[in-house]
Structure 1
Amino acid sequence: MSSSPLRASIIVSAIVFTAIGMGLSIAGLLSPSWQVVNLQEYNSVHEHGLWLDCIRHIRDVTGVLLRRYLTETEPLHCVYKFDYDKYSGTFDIEDDNSPVGEVNRHKFYGWHTATLIMIIIALITGFCSICIGACSCAIPSLTLIFTTTILLTTFLSSVAEGVFFFFSHRADNRFVKGIVGTYEQRVGLAFFLQMGACFFHFIAFLIAMMATFFAFSSKNSSLNRAHSLSANSLKSNITGMGRSTNLSDPTLRPLLRPAPPPPPQSHSRPGSSSALQNFDYMGHEETPQGSLSLNSGAPPLPPHNLMTTQQQYVFPSAKSTSLRHE
């Protein structure tokens, strides 16, 4: 079933926005800069991601450490959260706010795992929505499933963003205690990339809702058109049948004239020609239609033939009688 160009263009727009959102989510997932803290006393910037942590050392200690662009040329030293040196003994320290306890922030927390899982599921549902959207250009009934998968992708991305924002702003996760001071972690670039992904997924959901509206409205209009055509056809058939059986139709009045009454029977003498016309001279009875019929199935004779036969039958006997008298 082919789709209208308008609905197809709307679906393509929703697919494009979904693909952009997925790209932003992948970029944010690969980036370690979900939380960034500048530890001036260590001359380093720590970036804490969902599964990857990186440290960038700073050579400038003249007081311009807050200028982030000065540290972009420094190499990153990254380590996976699941492959960190957990046997160094620092993970056994219960107080994460101690100067050495900052190392414990390079491990998996529950909210890190929850955010990571929800983003991965959102990427899977986003990919499924793109595939379903491509099929819905030809099958309008799949537009509703396409919209549902985009809504699920938007929901998972937003919940993941909300969970990370809530737990990252808790006091025990937001502040890092150093040797001489306490430093605040701020959300990094990856957090804003994921926020942009949520925005694009939401726009794609709104566009998909428009496509669903057009799909079902066109389907309903097609059903209504087919129903009206069938109703009109049935009505015309019923009207034709009514006209064929309606005796009061003016067009049928000339055809429905009453039959003329039969001619009155005249009382004539037995020997007259009128009596002979109503009597079969061969000894056969008259048919109900008033015509003469023979037992052999021969057609009845017309009236003038009867008269001729009557004359031929009567006058020869008279001639023979006259000759006999002579």
Structure 2
Amino acid sequence: MARVMYKFVLITSILLIVAGLLLTAFSLFSPVWEIVDFPRNHLSHHHGLWWDCIVHHDTLIPLYELQAEQRGDRCDSKLDTAVQANLRIALEKGDDDARELLLHRFLPHHKGVIFFAVFTFVFGSISIAIGACSPCFPPNSLLYVVGVFMTGACSILADVIFLYAFSQKPNQLLKEITRETVIMSRSERSSALMSYVKRLGSACYIHMFGSFLLVIGFIFSIFCAYFLITSKHAHDVCCASKKEYREQTRWRNSGLILKTGHGRQVSRPFVVIDDDSSI
């Protein structure tokens, strides 16, 4: 029973790790980590880790229609030098939307998410390899637990960094507006504050769900190590060659017992064992 439970828990934990890594990879290349809505202009800015998109309402991206191109729906890379130059010019002019343009840069929390995502994939790949080899060497199950823990920890740290930066931006924005709009009237200040609304995008939630799957996989890895260490027959799940299997089961077989036919206890039976090497 412990052997069956060990197989089930090991396969489930590996599948959870693979699913978490796939969701993490999908979220990294999505531009919908943070959404900034402009109600007055009927458009939204989608901010990702690598690129940003400007999307008018009731439109989808990527956009290939001529009408969409005329309306200005597009996606730009954060690493594009031309885009960075345009951002610097807009910030120097002090446009009304210059504060929102700060989100189009490659910010430190974007780098932090990518940094920990790389280690998430590294530890996740190592964990899968160790987990697959743990039946042949039971102490590997403890390394498997450590590897899955590091995988989930890196993914959770990436979520914490992004959520912390997202929650701090409104306060920083309020300080900038307070410094730069001291001569504005009260109505002008309120209109500047309400010019756009920020919210988390679907990519952030997908990444957090991937972290949740990795945490569940870590819990399963603990049970996997427990069943492997406590089971006496857990090593039997390891793949062995045909020759090794014959050597292990050679003396377990009862064979064919022949007796002399006498009922006395002194008669000694002999055992005939089928062995290919004797042929």
TM range (shorter): 0.5 to 0.7
2:198 & 2:171 partners in 1: Cα distance?
A: 11
Q: CA deviation at 1:133?
A: 1.1
Residue aligning to 1:71: 59
**Match of residue 212, structure 2, among 185, 199, 215:** 199
**Match of residue 134, structure 1, among 132, 135, 151:** 132
1:205 & 1:102 partners in 2: Cα distance?
A: 39
2:31 & 2:211 partners in 1: Cα distance?
A: 19
Q: Which has the larger radius of gyration?
A: 1
1:83 aligns to 2:80 (yes or no): yes
1:96 & 1:200 partners in 2: Cα distance?
A: 44
1:198 & 1:96 partners in 2: Cα distance?
A: 40
Paired residue type of 1:123: F
Residue aligning to 2:154: 156
Q: CA deviation at 1:97?
A: 8.8
Q: Which moved more, 1:10-19 or 1:136-145?
A: 136-145
Residue aligning to 1:293: none
**Superposed, which structure 2 residues align to 1:1-326 within 5 Å?**
4-58=3-57, 70-72=58-60, 75=63, 77-84=74-81, 85-88=83-86, 90=88, 93=91, 98-170=96-168, 171-172=170-171, 181-218=194-231
Paired residue type of 1:105: L
Q: CA deviation at 1:49?
A: 0.9
User: Residue by residue, what CA displacement relative to the aligned partner does 1:44-92 show, whole Å, maximum 9, x if unpaired?
Assistant: 211111122111124xxxxxxxxxxx33377252111111522236368
User: Residue by residue, what CA displacement relative to the aligned partner does 1:81-119 show, whole Å, maximum 9, x if unpaired?
Assistant: 111522236368379894234223211111111111111
Change (3 A) 1:149 1:13: same
1:156 & 1:172 partners in 2: Cα distance?
A: 27
CA contact (8 A) 1:39 1:45 kept: yes
CA contact (8 A) 1:167 1:173 kept: no
1:92 & 1:73 partners in 2: Cα distance?
A: 25
Paired residue type of 2:152: T
Q: CA deviation at 1:15?
A: 0.1
Q: Which runs of 5+ in 2 are unaligned?
A: 64-72, 178-190, 236-279
Q: Which runs of 5+ in 1 are unaligned?
A: 59-69, 223-326
Residue aligning to 2:256: none
1:142 & 1:29 partners in 2: Cα distance?
A: 31
SS of equivalent to 1:42: coil
Q: How many residues align?
A: 209
Paired residue type of 2:59: T
Change (3 A) 1:134 1:34: same
1:101 & 1:88 partners in 2: Cα distance?
A: 14
CA contact (8 A) 1:154 1:202 kept: yes
User: Residue by residue, what CA displacement relative to the aligned partner does 1:272-309 show, whole Å, maximum 9, x if unpaired?
Assistant: xxxxxxxxxxxxxxxxxxxxxxxxxxxxxxxxxxxxxx
Paired residue type of 1:71: T
Change (3 A) 1:74 1:23: closer
CA contact (8 A) 2:34 2:48 kept: yes
Larger RCO, structures 1/2 (Cα 8 Å, 6+ apart) = 2
1:14 & 1:139 partners in 2: Cα distance?
A: 18
Q: CA deviation at 1:141?
A: 1.8
Paired residue type of 1:26: A
Q: CA deviation at 1:40?
A: 2.6
1:221 & 1:128 partners in 2: Cα distance?
A: 22
Change (3 A) 1:134 1:95: farther
Paired residue type of 1:163: I
2:119 & 2:153 partners in 1: Cα distance?
A: 11
CA contact (8 A) 1:47 1:54 kept: yes
Identity of aligned residues (%): 24
Q: CA deviation at 1:185?
A: 0.9
Residue aligning to 1:252: none
Change (3 A) 1:212 1:73: closer
**CA RMSD in angstroms, aligned pairs only:** 3.1
